[in-house]
Amino acid sequence: WVLGTVWWLYSYITTWWSGVLIGKCVIHGTSRGAGCSYPEMMAEAFGAPGYAFTAAMQILTYYLVNVYLLVAVADWFLLSQDVLVVQGVSASWCLCDYLVVSGVIAAILAQIRTFKRVLPFAAVSLASTALRQGIMYYQIGSYSLMSECEPKFGGVTAHSAVISLSTTAFLFGGHGLFPEEIREMRRPESYFGALHASYVIIGAVYATNAYVGYAVWGQWTAADIQTNWPLNNATLVSAVLSIVWGLVEMAMSHVMMLSLVESHLGLGRPGGRRGGALRVLARTAVVVSEVFFAFMFSAAGLGNLEGVVAAFGFTALTYYAPFAAYWKLFLRPRQAALGVQLCYGAVCLSGVLLTLAGLYASLAGGGRD
């Protein structure tokens, strides 16, 4: 209870403020004629090395996110199948079959090129999150789990603590898309209000899910809490909603990742029918490669995959890069108080340490699994 709360508060406060810093850095850069992408924001602070580092981290991070999401969506297809089998429906597809199905749908959605076009799907994703939250409470209430179960608490190890912090970082991993989303806003200044509103929603959803789930299942709480539920119609609905959510998240990450790749390959410029065909083939090929790696890593476990993705890239794009950029663009030129600069440095260093510890723990856990 205590350590989890500390981890959660650290991530919540740190990532909220890093989101604010991203907005300030992007708007500062555009006022000086710099671009609005995350790599361009970092280039404004650290030059070409900053651009190269951030572009590589964006592409690799969200590529791995999509690999994880493909595995997760395939697992949710399997969960849906398990419910149907209990109800007497004959079905025997395996994880590999559902990875292919997920990949086909993801390849179609990967052709969406702007956040504006994916926005309606994002609304569906938010609705699915709210509905799944309600289903969890329904499951708990319908089966009197609070009175019938006797969960055990504690049992925290150094490995589980680091994995927990890494997976918590995964929950706050959207920052790598923020500059590109600001670029498409008619009024970039409204980004800050949207960020604050989002964090109110995030705080309410995460807190009411995590604390209630842990109170009911304790050490039995699975990486995907839906697998703690009975195989009933409510679980089926939740699994289907999770599939929708996962596919939408992949579509959003593909918007940023593939646009960045295309800009460097010259596929983002108008090129007639041939250029459009090449773009479709290139985007589809990327999704096919993601499906391939999803096959390879599907046995590692969702918790370990989350930890690897979060520790590798989300910590960079969320926990320490924004603080470093803000220090270089604002604090250092304005000769801010030494204590303030040291605080920013400490948060930046904590993100680097989380990267190293999280990668080690997640890779070690994946190897054992």
pLDDT of residue 65 exceeding 80: yes
Looking at residue 311, what is its pLDDT?
75
Task: Identify which has the larger pLDDT, 2 or 28.
Answer: 28
**C-alpha closest to that of 6 among 161, 114, 147, 172:** 161
**What are the tens digits of pLDDT across the range 274-320?**
567 888 898 999 999 999 999 988 876 666 677 777 777 788 888 88
d(CA 72, CA 37): 29
State the DSSP string of 127-145. HHHHHHHHHHHHHHHHTTH
Q: Which residues have C-beta within 8 Å of that of residue 171, sequence separation ≥ 6?
A: 11, 202, 206
pLDDT of residue 369: 54
Q: What is the pLDDT of residues 193-219, one digit of tens each?
A: 999 999 999 898 888 888 888 888 877
pLDDT band at 353; cut points 50, 70, 90: confident
Q: How far is CA 240 from CA 79, 131, 177, in A?
A: 9, 11, 26
- Give the DSSP H/E element, type plus range, for residue 276: helix 272-297
pLDDT in tens, 41-56: 999 999 999 999 998 8
Show me where the domains of the chain are located: 2-368
Measured at the CA of 248, the angle between CA 244 and CA 253, to 5 degrees, comes to 150
In whole angstroms, what is the distance from residue 319 CA to residue 203 CA?
18
* DSSP three-state, residue 159: helix
Residue whose token pair is 């303030």:
340
Rounded percentage of the chain residues whose pLDDT exceeds 90: 37
Q: What is the DSSP letter of 109?
A: H
Q: How far does Cα 57 stand from its chain's mean position?
A: 14
Angle between helices 95-109 and 38-86 (to 10 degrees): 140
Closest CA to 102 of 232, 294, 238: 294
CATH topology of domain 2-368: Amino acid/polyamine transporter I (1.20.1740)
Kindly report the pTM of this predicted structure: 0.83
pLDDT (0 to 100) of residue 275: 61
Whether residue 109 has pLDDT greater than 50:
yes
Confidence of residue 270 (pLDDT cuts 50, 70, 90): very low
Task: Give the residue from 3, 314, 12, 7 showing the smallest Cα distance to 165.
Answer: 7
| Per-residue pLDDT at 272 exceeds 50 | no
